[in-house]
Structure 1
Amino acid sequence: MNPLSSLAPAIKEMASAQKSSFATTQAVWRFLNNEKVSFKQLNEPIQQLAFEQIDQSSHSYALIVHDWSQLQYVKHNNKTQRLQRTHQYDTGYELQSSLLVDAASGLPVAPLAQTLSDATGCYSTFTDDYSQRETHLNSLLHQIQHIEKSVVQKTLVHIIDREGDSIAHLRQMNHQGFKWLIRAKEGHRVEYQGQTYKVGEIAEKIETHSIKNISYKGNQHTLHVGETHIRITRAAKPKQKDSSGKRVAPEQGDAVDARLVVSVVKDRDGKIVARWCLLSNVAMDIDTAELSTWYYWRWTIECYFKLLKQAGHDVEAWLQTTPQAILRRLLISSMACVLTWRVQRGTDEQNVRIRAFLTRISGRQQKRGKLESAPAILAGLSILLNTLQLLSEYSPDELNAIAKIAFDL
């Protein structure tokens, strides 16, 4: 019996379901430089699917992970308005992405909003207007405000790395009722038990307890967590200049009440291997251990960037010459990522078999007992769709004849 026969109905159904979206992708491809193809139009199907999927989650919260990634185009001299950041070999465009993550499983769902910046301005999926470049956090705040207008039946929690530890932006998000989970800079000062300390000093005082064993940098360690309440009262120091060219003076503001969560990784001898200090205004119905786990899942966005750069789409080799064309193509590639994650998240028997099949034809190795990786599923999907296209153009007899000629050479 053919070993693929039992999978045939599932594969046929999956291929049929994706045929229309695949055809649409091919059609859009021809219009990468067409200004009538808007970023909002390309992003709407991604958002719609994201909200449908997250509504099925068993958790009342949903995570939005925000981060930046540099798209390096050092030798692409035909690309217009490349941004040079630190040195001559750090040239290209900058991508700002906001990834929706399931708070129950930690698996990615879809990028909800994305902004691509060049040397003079930026292009975003939530507006078709070209806008001037802003600081990372000012631009991100606009993106968060747009996401919060979406109709989703979950409480959104915005997760940002240490760059998000800006009191001016925390105050703005607090005033607008947004929930956040941010890694603190340990040198920043906050109020604790009526006194002012550096965050790192408070972390030394907090008692932590072991919650679970984890794998950290390939070694088995134990995660310890602890928590306390703090107030952030320091003045904001905007990185802006006034009309006379002088830097804007520090700005006082309301105190921000927050939870300070300390996550410590220890080895078998009790030695501290790593430590993270997290700030959050999420309600106490989410315990310390779950908040720490949510921040750990921030790395899902790094996996998304890896799919774009290395494990799937090779974005830094694209030959389009304008940031507009790059962003349009990037949104098309994001559709493939969304499909990949959808297959990865499925828990029914059919999806389990499909994942195993796609990983097998991808040729990528998987660790026994681990969930099939997104790069393996994406590679398998590509091979599957190409195979289906091939079978639609050639009969089995023709393919066997071609194979015989090739093998006889």
Structure 2
Amino acid sequence: MTMTLFEQHQLPCILESRLSKRYQTLIMEHMTVNSSNAPGVKSLRHHTQSWASTQATWRFYHNEDVTFPMLSGPMLGLARSGVKESQSRYVLMAHDWCHINFAKHHSKLDKTKMSHALDVGYELQASLLVDANTGAPIAPAGLNLLTSNGIYQCRSQELQPKQSHLDSLFDSIHWQEQLHLDKPLVHVVDREADSAKDLRRLGSVHWLTRTKKGSTFRHEGQFKTAEIISRTISPDLKGVISLRGKEGYLFVGETTVELHRKSEKLASAAPTCRFVMSLVTDDEGKELARWYLLSNVLDVDATEIATWYCHRWNIESWFKLLKSDGHQLEKWQQTTAESILKRLITASVATTLIFKLYSDSSDEANEFKGFLVKLSGSFN
């Protein structure tokens, strides 16, 4: 008897049998999309059955018995197994935001204005697990979609009230910590989390963020900007790294600062954290990137902290995969944010299975890779 997709990967799914079968078909279809057909995904059926398949997909995404948590079960199952298989002592949870522009989609009535009047659609906040040793993506472990009416979350079926970026992020972080994955998490956020007050809220949760050069901290008894603090550090060459697909030379140095802004009055002593200056140059010494990093992870080398931050770019690549290089997200024809998020969860499971397939060199995996290439229409 042929095993189903979920059985092959030992993934949990509490959808009733008929809906589970449809869900697995949709996941397979999202593993074969390309730029010309992504808005409607490539049906695995004969072309004469395509319309019936489209109708079945519409019914699935509008079925009240298909909830966000139910759809997220296989995604979180992949996250759990991926973390368990990782050889890293820590696993990174990269967080970021992405604007999904649907300005030309007049049927979507729950769009929200984002950066300007023409930038309307939905805002996606996503969390991607990344292997701390290799930088390889493991699986998404959190999806929030901001609309004009509120926030849809993969972990709850109910529409949530709007929140600030950091409040929404920290709610996600605390939920992810309660997943009790096999290894401790380090939550990696860009400069969005450059707030001493908010970082103190995280308590014992492990975090890594980038700070602005003008942000102040208490260092050696005085308040100084990050830029001035960095001048007291002599970074050492640590080796060659990959940054957004390009190689560069990594220089790293560190000191300790207190999470206390000059403008703040605190009733008690502020916690300390690591201040890591990271510099990347090309082979001619031209500066490619300079980061002032903060982290409360104490038992790893500063070079590892800097390398972890470099791994954060994986979530940007994942957004690119969703929007342009594979799934063509901004062309999707679903008319509500609820349906869009359901399809996003479906696509997330598909991309995670591709991640696993890419790293698997077994004969069975290579055979399936060839099948997907033929199915995509890339080659005759």
Q: Fold conserved (TM > 0.5)?
A: yes
- Number of aligned positions between the proteins: 340
TM-score by length of 2: 0.81
Choose from 18, 37, 40 the match for 2:66.
37
1:23 maps to 25
Displacement after TM superposition at 1:24 (Å): 6.5
Q: Which runs of structure 2 are paired with 1:115-134 in the superposition (5 Å)? A: 115-134=144-163
Is contact 1:235–1:251 with CA below 8 Å preserved after alignment?
no
Q: Give the letter aligned to residue 127 of structure 1.
A: S
The alpha-carbon distance between structure 1 residues 124 and 220, as it changes in their structure 2 partners (threshold 3 A), is: closer
Q: Give the letter aligned to residue 277 of structure 2.
A: V
Between the aligned partners of 1:141 and 1:206, the Cα distance in structure 2 is 31
Q: Which runs of structure 2 are paired with 1:157-176 in the superposition (5 Å)? A: 157-174=186-203
The answer to whether the aligner puts 1:193 opposite 2:193 as a matched pair is: no
Between the aligned partners of 1:104 and 1:88, the Cα distance in structure 2 is 42
2:331 maps to 317
Where relative contact order (Cα < 8 A, 6+ residues apart) is larger, the structure is 2
1:371 maps to none
Choose from 93, 115, 136 the match for 2:165.
136
> Greater CA radius of gyration, 1 or 2?
1
1:301 maps to 315
Q: Which runs of structure 2 are paired with 1:3-402 in the superposition (5 Å)? A: 17=8, 22-23=24-25, 25=27, 30-174=59-203, 177-214=204-241, 221-234=248-261, 254-284=269-299, 286-346=300-360, 348-350=361-363, 353-354=366-367, 358=370, 380=373, 382-383=375-376
The alpha-carbon distance between structure 1 residues 261 and 95, as it changes in their structure 2 partners (threshold 3 A), is: same
- Note the aligned Cα RMSD (angstroms): 3.0
Displacement after TM superposition at 1:235 (Å): 7.3
Between the aligned partners of 2:114 and 2:152, the Cα distance in structure 1 is 18
Between the aligned partners of 2:130 and 2:180, the Cα distance in structure 1 is 16
Between the aligned partners of 2:229 and 2:364, the Cα distance in structure 1 is 47
SS at match of 2:174: helix
Between the aligned partners of 2:333 and 2:246, the Cα distance in structure 1 is 41
Between the aligned partners of 2:266 and 2:302, the Cα distance in structure 1 is 32
Q: Give the letter aligned to residue 223 of structure 1.
A: L
The alpha-carbon distance between structure 1 residues 236 and 148, as it changes in their structure 2 partners (threshold 3 A), is: farther
The alpha-carbon distance between structure 1 residues 122 and 220, as it changes in their structure 2 partners (threshold 3 A), is: closer
Is contact 2:82–2:139 with CA below 8 Å preserved after alignment?
no
TM-superposition CA deviations, 1:23-70 (whole Å, max 9, x none):
364876632122331101100111012101210111221110000001
The alpha-carbon distance between structure 1 residues 330 and 253, as it changes in their structure 2 partners (threshold 3 A), is: farther
SS at match of 1:55: helix
Structure 1 unaligned regions, length at least 5: 1-11, 238-249, 362-378, 388-402, 404-409
Between the aligned partners of 2:162 and 2:343, the Cα distance in structure 1 is 21
SS at match of 1:46: helix
TM-score by length of 1: 0.76
Displacement after TM superposition at 1:126 (Å): 1.5
Between the aligned partners of 1:216 and 1:293, the Cα distance in structure 2 is 9
Is contact 1:171–1:254 with CA below 8 Å preserved after alignment?
no
Displacement after TM superposition at 1:382 (Å): 4.9
Q: Give the letter aligned to residue 376 of structure 2.
A: I
Between the aligned partners of 2:244 and 2:79, the Cα distance in structure 1 is 31
Structure 2 unaligned regions, length at least 5: 10-19, 28-52
